[in-house]
């Protein structure tokens, strides 16, 4: 299999962590790609021209981080990324973590291409407000501590928080979010999170 990715995408990081957690690292060839530079190899496999994309051994190109995680979960053994006995709770928390990634990424990209004045636009304000509400909720209700497994809820929240710390650190001060910082510090011990650090 081939995974198109880069080192700064939170979405690609979720897919890469899923591959590591499912013991598939040896079967997944990492293909470093720059979607913003119209990478022809990426465009040849998927019309969206976004990362991540996983090309299966059969040649199917799957885009969307959560769909890739679902596929990797299904073709492998070991602890499920979405444990069936806690399916609704895990997916509910994963939706919060994924929303955090999405809102943070939207703010970062808008600032990159339109400057910080993008924050004042209607969309910018909505994304920043969503970010603030999401962080507040997570501070009240952090995910389960990372232990023997690392399921999709924990993965998306960890990557979302890591991304905010990487790109928007002013939005996540330690004194305002002590429980989240403590949770993330512990989660960072997980080898798959450590091995996929943003660069």
User: Applying CB under 6 A, which residues contact ligand GSH?
Assistant: 9, 11, 35-36, 49-52, 64-65, 105
Per the structure block, which two tokens stand in for 141? 């209700």
Nearer to ligand GSH, 45 or 51 (CB): 51
Q: Is 61 helix (H, G, I), strand (E, B) or coil?
A: strand
Among the listed residues 1, 52, 58, the one whose alpha carbon sits nearest the alpha carbon of residue 24: 1
Q: Rounded to the nearest whole angstrom, what is the least distance from the CB of residue 179 to ligand GSH in the complex? A: 26
Q: What is the DSSP letter of 64?
A: S
- Taking the alpha carbons of 71, 108, 194, 31 in that order, is the dihedral positive or negative? positive
164/177 with CB nearer ligand GSH: 164
Helix, strand, or coil (residue 83): coil
Q: How far is the CB of 37 from ligand GSH (least distance, A)?
A: 10
CB of 184 to ligand GSH, least distance (A): 20
Between 108 and 146, CB nearer to ligand GSH: 108
**In whole angstroms, how close is the CB of 127 to ligand GSH at the nearest point?**
14
Q: Closer to ligand GSH at the Cβ: 14 or 177? A: 14
Neighbours of 107 (CB within 10 A): 23
């Amino acid at each position: 299999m081939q995974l198109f990715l880069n080192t700064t995408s939170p979405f690609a990081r979720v897919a890469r962590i899923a591959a590591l957690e499912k013991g598939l690292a040896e079967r997944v060839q990492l293909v470093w790609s720059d979607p913003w530079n119209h990478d022809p190899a990426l465009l040849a496999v998927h019309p969206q021209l976004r990362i991540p994309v996983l090309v299966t051994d059969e040649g199917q190109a799957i885009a969307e981080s959560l769909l890739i995680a679902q596929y990797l979960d299904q073709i492998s053994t070991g602890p499920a990324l979405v444990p069936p006995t806690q399916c609704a709770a895990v997916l509910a928390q994963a939706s919060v973590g994924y929303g955090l990634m999405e809102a943070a990424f939207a703010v970062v990209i808008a600032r990159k291409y339109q400057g910080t004045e993008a924050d004042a636009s209607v969309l910018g304000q909505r994304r920043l407000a969503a970010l603030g509400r999401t962080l507040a909720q997570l501070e009240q209700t952090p995910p389960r501590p990372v232990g023997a497994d690392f399921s999709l809820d924990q993965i998306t929240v960890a990557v979302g928080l890591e991304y905010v710390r990487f790109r928007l650190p002013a939005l996540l001060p330690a004194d305002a979010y002590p429980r989240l910082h403590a949770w993330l510090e512990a989660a960072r011990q997980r080898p798959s999170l450590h091995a996929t650090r943003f660069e």
